[in-house]
């Protein structure tokens, strides 16, 4: 399961966890929401595997757009960051890390929330908004990537090269016989009109 969309999903989860963890203001609800969502995301991926790339991409894009429009929904965005970190632990485990390493590594991504709470200059509002716009664009790209790759593969399967046309679809003897019949027919038509 190590395909391009899977690597893109891992990148989106890692970056999204950091951005969403640092986005809301420091509050107890945000921390509880992030911790609960992390446990749910990590437990889900351990039990059922990593969710589809399209689903995660759409959720992240919707979450980023939601927080850009209504910045009062900080606990929801922090929960999305925790959930992404939990899913990222599953992505890392699928790529070969053991769960004992993947979970703490993914959990370290939400430490951006602690840093943003201690130092307001760490993530000023303008920087957070720009990061959310970039994460929204990246999430939309990641959500579309599997479909685009499937379409590209189908287009490559339908492509026929001219050299393949003669050897695979129309054999050489068929072309020779057709050319001979056309030549004899044209010769007979010219001879009969004299």
* CA 60/CA 110 separation, integer angstroms: 16
Q: Say what the pLDDT of residue 136 is.
A: 94
Q: Say what the pLDDT of residue 71 is.
A: 75
Q: Say what the pLDDT of residue 85 is.
A: 93
Q: Say what the pLDDT of residue 170 is.
A: 59
* Residues 12 and 58 placed together within one structural domain of the fold: yes
Domain holding 132, by residue range, is 4-156
* Residues 36 and 82 placed together within one structural domain of the fold: yes
Q: Say what the pLDDT of residue 151 is.
A: 86
* Residues 167 and 73 placed together within one structural domain of the fold: no
Q: Say what the pLDDT of residue 69 is.
A: 87
* Residues 98 and 183 placed together within one structural domain of the fold: no
22: CATH: 1.20.1250
* Residues 169 and 84 placed together within one structural domain of the fold: no
Mean pLDDT by 10 residues, the chain (194 residues): 84 90 75 88 92 94 89 78 92 90 86 75 83 93 91 77 55 75 80 71
pTM: 0.75
* CA 99/CA 45 separation, integer angstroms: 11
Q: Say what the pLDDT of residue 166 is.
A: 47
**Residues 70-103: b if buried by 16+ CB within 10 A, e if exposed:** ebeebbbbbbbbbbbbbbbbbbbbbeeeeeeebb
* CA 80/CA 67 separation, integer angstroms: 11
Number of independent structural domains in the chain: 2
* Residues 148 and 76 placed together within one structural domain of the fold: yes
* Residues 166 and 85 placed together within one structural domain of the fold: no
Q: Say what the pLDDT of residue 126 is.
A: 85
* Residues 141 and 167 placed together within one structural domain of the fold: no
* Residues 91 and 176 placed together within one structural domain of the fold: no
* Residues 112 and 185 placed together within one structural domain of the fold: no
Q: Say what the pLDDT of residue 177 is.
A: 78
């Amino acid at each position: 399961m190590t395909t391009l969309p899977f690597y893109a999903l891992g990148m989106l989860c890692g970056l999204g966890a950091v951005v969403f963890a640092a986005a809301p203001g420091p509050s107890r609800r945000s921390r509880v929401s992030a911790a609960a969502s992390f446990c749910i995301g990590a437990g889900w991926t351990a039990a059922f595997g990593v969710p589809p790339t399209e689903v995660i991409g759409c959720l992240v894009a919707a979450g980023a757009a939601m927080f850009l429009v209504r910045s009062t929904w900080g606990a929801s965005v922090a929960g999305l960051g925790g959930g992404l970190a939990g899913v990222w632990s599953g992505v890392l485990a699928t790529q070969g890390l053991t769960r004992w390493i993947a979970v703490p590594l993914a959990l370290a991504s939400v430490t951006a929330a602690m840093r943003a709470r201690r130092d307001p200059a760490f993530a000023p509002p303008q920087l957070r908004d720009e990061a959310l716009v970039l994460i929204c664009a990246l999430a939309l790209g990641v959500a579309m990537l599997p479909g685009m790759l499937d379409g590209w593969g189908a287009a490559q399967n339908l492509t026929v090269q001219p050299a393949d046309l003669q050897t695979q679809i129309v054999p050489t003897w068929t072309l020779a016989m057709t050319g001979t019949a056309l030549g004899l027919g044209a010769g007979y038509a010219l001879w009969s009109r004299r």
